[in-house]
Amino acid sequence: MEVFKWLNDILSVQLDPKNVLHSEDDEMILPTFETQVLDTQTLSFEDIISNILLFTLQCLNSEDDRVQAEAQKVNELLQTRILDVVKIEKSRENTQTFTKILDTLQNMITTENNASVKHAMGWIKHLIDNFPTELTQLSEKIIKNLNNEDLQIVEISVKLIAKIVNKQDSCELISDILTYLEENMRKETNQTRSLSILKTLFSHIEGEKLLTYFAKSLRGHTNKEFKINMVQNLDLVINIEEELYSLRSQLKEKSNPMFDSLFEIWCADPISCVSLCLLGEQYHVAYKVIQLMAYANMNVNMLVRLAQVTKLLDMPHYAALRMQLLRPKK
C-alpha cells in the first residue's frame, strides 16, 4: 500500500499544472523528472509517467481488493492531471508525453491479458474524448488492433474508431478500414470478422454519414472482387440491423439523394442492386435490372445471393412490398 501512497503524493505534486515553469522567453519547462536508475539509465518525464501508468493498470487486475482500490485512485489522478500536462505540451507544439502514453497503451493491448487490455482501451477512449485530433493522426495504431484474435478486443477497437470518425468530417479513417478489410479478405474466407466490424460501426456512427463515407471510398476502388464483397456485406447489414430502420426509411424518400448515390456503387453486384431497389421501393428500376440479369451467365454464387435476397423479403420492413405482391392490380 505504501507504494501507492508514494505514487499518489508524487503525482499530486509533479503533475500539478501550477508547477509548470516558464523561462524568460516564455518557453514551457516541465519540472525536472529525470531519475537515475541503477546509475546507468536516465528516465525522462514521459518515461516515468508511462511506467507509472503501466504499473497502475496492471495493479487494477490484482486479486487483492485493497490493491485494486489504491490503484484506481492513482489511475483517476493520472487521468485528471495528465490532461493538463498534455494541453500545455500541445500549446507548445510538443506531443512527447501524449505519444509515449499512447505507445504504452498500445503495447499493453498487444502483450497483456484481456483484463489489462480493457483498462488500456478505457484510457484510449479517455484520450479520444479530450484529444480527438491527435488520436486521428495516430489512429493507424488502433486499426492494427483489428487483427487481434480476441473478437472482444476487436469490437472495443471498432468502437474507439467510431468515436474518432464521429469527431471528424472526412472519410480518411474509413478508407483505412477498407484497406484493412481488403487485406482480411485475402487472408480469411470466412467474412464473420468483416461483418462484425461493419455492424459495430453502424451501431455507433450515424448511418447516412457512414454510408456516404463508404460510398465515397468505394467509388474509386479498383479491386472489383473486394468491391463486390463490400457491397454484399453492406447490403446485408442495412437489411438485417434493427437499429438502421431510419436509414431504410431515408432510402424511400424521393427527395433524398442517398439512393442515387448508393445505386452507383451497388451496381457492382446486380443482385445487391435489386435488393437496394426493393428496399428503396424503386420497383421499376428493380424490374429493369432483373431483365438485364436474364442475359447474364448465372453461377452458384449468384443463385445463393438470390436465395438470400428472397429470404430477406420476410423482414418486417418489406411488409409493404409483400402486400403489393398480393394485390398486383392495386
pTM for the whole structure: 0.74
Secondary structure letter of residue 33 according to DSSP: -
Q: What burial class does residue 82 get, using C-beta atoms within 10 Å of its C-beta: 0-12 exposed, 13-18 middle, 19+ buried?
A: buried
Report which of residues 36 and 307 the model is more confident about. 307
Query: Would you place residue 173 in the very low, low, confident or very high pLDDT band (cuts 50, 70, 90)?
Result: confident
Give pLDDT, residue 81: 77
- Residues whose CB falls within 8 Å of the CB of residue 281, separated by 6 or more in sequence, listed in order: 252, 320, 321
In residues, how long is the chain? Answer: 330
The H-assigned helical ranges of 60-171 are 65-91, 96-111, 114-130, 132-137, 139-143, 151-166
Q: What burial class does residue 295 get, using C-beta atoms within 10 Å of its C-beta: 0-12 exposed, 13-18 middle, 19+ buried?
A: exposed
Q: Per-residue pLDDT tens for 118-156?
A: 788 888 888 777 776 666 655 666 787 787 777 777 888
Q: Per-residue pLDDT tens for 220-256?
A: 888 888 999 999 999 999 999 888 888 899 888 887 8
Most confident residue range from 21-25, 28-32, 37-41, 291-295: 291-295
- Residues whose CB falls within 8 Å of the CB of residue 104, separated by 6 or more in sequence, listed in order: 50, 53, 54
Q: Are 30 and 85 in contact (CB under 8 A)?
A: yes
How far are the Cα atoms of 223, 233, 279, 293 from residue 296, in angstroms, in the given order?
A: 21, 22, 23, 5
